[in-house]
Structure 1
Amino acid sequence: MNSEFTIAVHSLALLAHLPGHMASSELIAQNVCTNPARIRKIMGILRKNGFVKTKEGVGGGYMLACDPGDVTLAAIYRSISTGTLKPHWCSGDPKEACLVSANMHGVMDQIFTEAELYYTKYLEQLTIQTVLDKVRQGQGQCQGQNRQ
């Protein structure tokens, strides 16, 4: 799994916490603890998939373009990270005479494919609003904003 999914969920939860406000890539990056270029890359994907809208120039940035209660984590996962549960490297050699080495790649592919199906099914049960509600049950404040 890559960190882009976590960054996307974090960014969308932040925007949901600041409804009607534009957030710059710098503000989001500071909140997420990453760099603004990485945020812009991920927000571009989220914009392309209809989760955020953008405004350029002074006072511009990103704003949530959807209802946080309607956006499942599965939808975000599919737009950002589908296929990332499976590692890029696989052990074994299909040309090998050894039964284990020759078949390990296919077996592991099946395991990771099934795991991703179960994982996505679980993520269908969670929304950005669910995440924001869980965050609000925690401690602390957000970028000088009072918790709502």
Structure 2
Amino acid sequence: MDQVTSDFTIAVHSLVFLAYLPDRMASSEEIAHNVCTNPARIRKIMSCLRKSGLVSTKEGIGGGYILSANPDEVTLAQIYRPVSQGKLKPNWCTGDPERECQISSNTQVVMDEIFDDAEIHLENYLNQMTISSVLEKIKQCR
């Protein structure tokens, strides 16, 4: 689940940073410096956000990323979906569906349902917050 948390957090941080710099391009190096990660990771995450229409890009000198959506309207769920949706469920499966033991053969099915429901609840919660609301909370931390 670390990948869900870190990719999502990096995506939110990056978009909040771009919202803080309205109408200005920021390079992957500049965003990476602010996020405290490497530019390649930023480019990977920003690619997902670009495909979702949340950022625009410009290549070359003076290029980079710019927020292409209204930060008052972009919810955290809109960021979560392209970056982390489906990753809440762990890759490792417990038990063995081929065993005769009811616990071993069915635990994974039930856990999958639990994680699917948890993701729905998480997205509903994230729909209540926007990039702007996160930026405002950050500004209140001073």
* TM-score normalised according to structure 2 size: 0.95
Query: Are positions 1:24 and 2:27 aligned together?
Result: yes
Aligned to 2:135: 132
* TM-align CA RMSD: 0.8
- Judge which range, 6-15 or 42-51, deviates more: 42-51
Q: Any unmatched runs of 5+ in structure 2?
A: none
**Structure 1 outlier segments of 4+, above 2 Å:** none
Q: In the aligned structure 2, how far is the partner of 1:52 from the partner of 1:118?
A: 26
Q: Determine the structure 2 residue equivalent to 1:115.
A: 118
Tell me the CA shift for residue 34 of structure 1.
0.4
Q: Tell me, in whole angstroms, the C-alpha distance in 1 between the residues paired with 2:112 and 2:79.
A: 23
Q: In the alignment, residue 67 of structure 1 is paired with which amino acid?
A: N
- TM-score between both structures, scaled by the size of structure 1: 0.91
Counterpart amino acid of residue 60 in structure 2: G
**Residue aligned with 1:53, SS:** strand
1:97 corresponds to 2:100: yes
Distance 1:111 1:124 in 2: 20
CA distance in 2, matches of 1:77, 1:33: 20
1:11 equivalent in alignment to 2:23: no
Number of residue equivalences: 139
Larger helix fraction of residues: 2
1:22-101 alignment runs, 5 A limit: 22-101=25-104
Residue 138 of structure 1 aligns to which amino acid in structure 2? C
User: How many angstroms does 1:58 deviate by?
Assistant: 1.2
Deviations 1:97-147 (A, max 9, x none): 2111011011101110111111110001011111111111113xxxxxxxx
State the percentage of identical aligned residues: 61
